[in-house]
Amino acid sequence: MRLHFFAAALAAVAAIPLCPASGADPEKRPFRLGFTRWPADLTLEGATAAQDFAHTHGDIVSVMFIGGVPWPEAHDGKPFSKDVDNNLKYRPPAGTQLFLSISPLDKDRKNIAPYWSERDNMPLPKGWDKLSLNSPEVKKAYLNFCLRAVEAMKPDYLAIGIESNVLLSHDAKKWTHLKELHRDTYDAIKKKHPKLPVFFTTEVNHYKKFASEAKNSNQESEVAELMKHGDVFAMSTYPHMSFAIPRPVPADLFDFATKFKKPIAVSESGLTSRDVELKAFKLTLKGSEADQKQFTELLLKTADRDNYLFVINFATTDFEKLCAKLPPPVDDLARIWAFTGMQTSGKKPKPALAVWDTYLTLLRYIWSGCDRRERQ
């Protein structure tokens, strides 16, 4: 539900993928910590500041393609636009893993993703706006795009659905189409890259029916069914988006994740460090720096206890400057996450960052040097 950004990607040294060694010391941090490169502002300085912070305060980077899919080019095997190619060129620093997420859905998780060409979020080309998620054309194009992205970026983890279960809350019929698309895409990718972890991500507020739209959906059974075609249970969690979640955030909020008997990860997360008035929606989201710190402590403590693979905090830096440049009501939509960074827009560290960095400085597991190209 974030707007996609970056007209160009910075080239970096290709990361050496790392795998957990057997018999690793349980006293050491079992999970990776990371961020997306979501910019602090719509400027080169804002983009650079976010990327530098992500590289300094993490050992995994999340790249999310949430602004569309190059549908006709992917379907026909034609070259992508310069913007798409530039985004596919990103490489994390050496020793840092890469988590790549791609979505076949739009930002509201209600319909097929828009067109990505010279820029993202473009209207769908003629004909594509009439296709269902399980149509042969969409299946072929989506699989081809995922495979080309994997070949280009060599990710350590791949999500082929972002907050997929939100669609279930909106449209049960389209959800069945999405399940078919996911299963076919998963099976085809695993056939070519058997060692690459492939999965979809689950939005916690909808899964636990904290979101009003989810009240009449069969979240538990449907997500469990789709998890048969997923190697990791990956959660997206923003507790401040639901008034049903008390403060402090309950200690058992994420305990349900272990029931899938799969490795667990946090694909994106955050909690606002201040109250945010959303005039377009006539409501105020509640938060404070103390709330953000408590949430961070809980999340990382749970990740340590349950041996998560990685934890991603979506924003490195508060981005209210970016929001101010967006037209209404998109500006208010972006403000939902504007103050979930680990530092202010003025680069002042928040109390939650001290918790984060304490975990970051713990020695990670001793990792074996298995190259990601070998794993795929």
Mind listing the pLDDT tens digit of every residue in the chain (376 residues)?
443 333 333 233 223 233 433 333 445 889 999 999 999 999 999 999 999 999 999 999 999 999 999 999 999 999 999 999 999 999 999 999 999 999 999 999 999 999 999 999 999 999 999 999 999 999 999 999 999 999 999 999 999 999 999 999 999 999 999 999 999 999 999 999 999 999 999 999 999 999 999 999 999 999 999 999 999 999 999 999 999 999 999 999 999 999 999 999 999 999 999 999 999 999 999 999 999 999 999 999 999 999 999 999 999 999 999 999 999 999 999 999 999 999 999 999 999 999 999 999 985 543 433 334 333 3
For the packed helices 351-361 and 289-305, what is the interaxial angle rounded to 10 degrees?
20
Q: Is residue 204 a contact partner of residue 160, using CB atoms and an 8 Å limit?
A: no
Buried b (16+ CB within 10 A) or exposed e, 207-240: bbbbbeebeebebeebbeebbebbbbbbbbbbbb
Could you tell me the domains of the chain?
A: 19-375 (3.20.20.80)
Residue with tokens 């206890």: 305
For the packed helices 172-192 and 219-226, what is the interaxial angle rounded to 10 degrees?
20
Count how many Cα atoms sit within 13 Å of the Cα of residue 148 in the half-sphere of its side chain.
22
Q: What are phi and psi of 27, to 5 degrees?
A: -75, -15
> How many angstroms separate the CA atoms of 196 and 70, rounded?
23
> How many angstroms separate the CA atoms of 11 and 303, rounded?
31
Residue with tokens 């979020």: 121
Tokens of 68: 């569309």
10 Å CB burial of residue 122 (0-12, 13-18, 19+) is middle
Within 8 A by CB and 6+ apart from 317, the residues are 40, 49, 50, 53, 341, 342, 343, 344, 345, 347
Q: Is residue 347 a contact partner of residue 40, using CB atoms and an 8 Å limit?
A: no
Nearest by Cα to 103 from 167, 13, 169: 167
pTM of the predicted protein model: 0.90
Residue with tokens 């490169």: 37
**If DSSP codes are grouped into helix, strand and coil, which group holds residue 100?**
strand
Tokens of 106: 């739009």
DSSP letter assigned to residue 99: E
Strands of the chain (E only): list them: 19-20, 32-36, 60-65, 97-102, 157-159, 198-199, 201-203, 233-237, 264-269, 276-278, 283-285, 310-313, 367-368
Query: Cα 259 to the chain's mean position, in Å?
Result: 21
Q: Is residue 153 a contact partner of residue 98, using CB atoms and an 8 Å limit?
A: yes
